[in-house]
């Protein structure tokens, strides 16, 4: 009898490590393979970055509350976000879709309308893809390409002790948006006559359904001559991303709870779900903000920039990654992002 290992024994990150452990590169141009937000290819006078992300019906989106146009927009935005996380500018995307016959031509037109809107917003060209059928539901896979000056590339691995930890925008809103959509779905399932109550929740719903990649932050950093020492986008939750930076940069981190940027609507709504706002910020996913570290000497420059918040600093490896509360209490940060194969 052959051995069989269940996917649930692995989890997403361990599975990726396992499957990619024997990869060997033969191209001299391959500068960075698996392990960052995008692969990095040496194109002589600049680096090219390549990344791919898949959205699967029932796993990443629920057709009962996801507008198709938003879904198309999001599928491009999440890939552009990974390009931005390398400090690169996106240039091209390809789009592959698998569709069941549950979808009409009109439905797919809406998906593409959203995709093209995003392509226009981020200045990228849609240059190809693949179309196939699926037995169950819709799958969208996007690959994005970008470019960056060699001296401006940022990896997850460059953070140094005493660097300042920064995050763009605000955190936790997408998670609250998802909770509201799930709550209204349950209510509707129990009584289809009740209309969903989504009023007053525009901000958090949009953050979940139609996130923006922070290409504007990449431009702002460039305009102000700031090259982060490390960077990652916040897709799985701030805590998980801090741990990625610490692992790849071999460092610890102190993040100050009171410094976490949290929108007032998130602070207000989190109580309805019996959650601390900071827990939404640390463990909620899908914010698609940028988490990065800068040298202390860049503090004055960053401090004047809107929508960039200094939330902590890099520490010695022995200190691990900790969330520091106002009274000085510290708790270690644990990854609690999405776990597709968890038990």
205-234 residues in contact with Mg ion (CB under 5 A) are: 233
Contact between 34 and ligand ADP by CB under 6 A: the answer reads yes
Could you say which DSSP state residue 298 is in?
G
Question: What is the bridge-based pairing of β-strands 89-99 and 125-133?
Answer: parallel
CB atoms within 10 A of CB 226: 19
Tokens of 287: 């914010």
Nearest distance from C-beta of residue 328 to Mg ion, angstroms? 32
Nearest distance from C-beta of residue 311 to ligand ADP, angstroms? 20
Q: Could you tell me the sign of the dihedral formed by the alpha carbons of 118, 228, 248, 257, in that order? A: negative
**Nearest-angstrom CA–CA distance, 123 and 234:** 22
Contact between 287 and ligand ADP by CB under 6 A: the answer reads no
Do 46 and 149 touch, CB atoms closer than 8 A? yes
Binding to ligand ADP by CB under 6 A, coded x per residue (else -) over 186-225, reads ----------------------------------------
Contact between 287 and Mg ion by CB under 5 A: the answer reads no
Tokens of 68: 């198709």
Q: Which of 31, 32, 36, 37 binds Mg ion (CB under 5 A)?
A: 37
Per rule CB under 5 A, count of chain residues that contact Mg ion: 3
Contact between 16 and ligand ADP by CB under 6 A: the answer reads yes
Contact between 137 and ligand ADP by CB under 6 A: the answer reads no
**Nearest-angstrom CA–CA distance, 80 and 52:** 10
Query: Which candidate, 294, 306, 76, places its Cα nearest to that of 168?
Result: 306
**Nearest-angstrom CA–CA distance, 71 and 23:** 33
Q: Which of 31, 37, 280, 313 binds ligand ADP (CB under 6 A)?
A: 37
Q: Which is nearer to ligand ADP, 19 or 272 (CB)?
A: 19
Nearest distance from C-beta of residue 248 to Mg ion, angstroms? 12
For binding to ligand ADP (CB under 6 A), which residues are involved? Answer: 16, 19-20, 34-37, 53, 82, 235
For binding to Mg ion (CB under 5 A), which residues are involved? Answer: 37, 82, 233
């Amino acid at each position: 009898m052959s051995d069989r290992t269940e996917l649930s024994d692995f989890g997403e990150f361990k599975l990726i490590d396992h499957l990619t452990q024997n990869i060997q590169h033969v191209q001299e141009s391959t500068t960075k393979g698996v392990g960052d937000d995008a692969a990095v290819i040496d194109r002589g006078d600049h680096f090219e970055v390549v990344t791919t992300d898949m959205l699967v019906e029932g796993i990443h989106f629920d057709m009962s509350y996801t507008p198709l146009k938003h879904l198309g927009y999001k599928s491009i935005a999440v890939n552009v976000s990974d390009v931005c996380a390398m400090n690169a500018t996106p240039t091209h995307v390809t789009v592959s879709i698998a569709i069941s016959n549950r979808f009409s031509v009109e439905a797919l037109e809406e998906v593409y309308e959203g995709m093209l809107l995003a392509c226009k917003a981020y200045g990228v060209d849609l240059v190809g893809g693949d179309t196939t059928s699926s037995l169950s539901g819709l799958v969208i896979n996007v690959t994005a390409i970008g470019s960056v000056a060699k001296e401006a590339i940022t990896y997850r691995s460059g953070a140094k002790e005493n660097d300042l930890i920064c995050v763009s925008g605000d955190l936790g809103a997408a998670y609250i948006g998802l909770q509201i959509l799930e709550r209204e779905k349950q209510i509707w399932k129990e009584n289809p006559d009740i209309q969903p109550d989504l009023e007053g929740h525009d901000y958090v719903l949009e953050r979940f359904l139609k996130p923006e990649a922070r290409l504007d932050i990449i431009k702002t950093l460039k305009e102000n001559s700031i090259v982060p020492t490390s960077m990652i986008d916040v897709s799985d939750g701030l805590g998980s991303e801090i741990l990625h930076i610490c692992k790849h940069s071999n460092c610890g981190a102190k993040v100050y709870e009171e410094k976490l940027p949290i929108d007032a609507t998130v602070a207000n709504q989190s109580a309805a779900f019996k959650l601390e706002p900071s827990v939404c910020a640390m463990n909620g996913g899908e914010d698609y903000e940028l988490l990065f570290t800068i040298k202390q000497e860049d503090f004055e420059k960053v401090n004047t920039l809107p929508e960039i918040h200094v939330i902590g600093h890099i520490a010695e490896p022995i200190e691990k990654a900790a969330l520091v509360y106002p009274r000085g209490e510290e708790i270690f940060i644990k990854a609690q992002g999405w776990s597709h194969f968890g038990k």
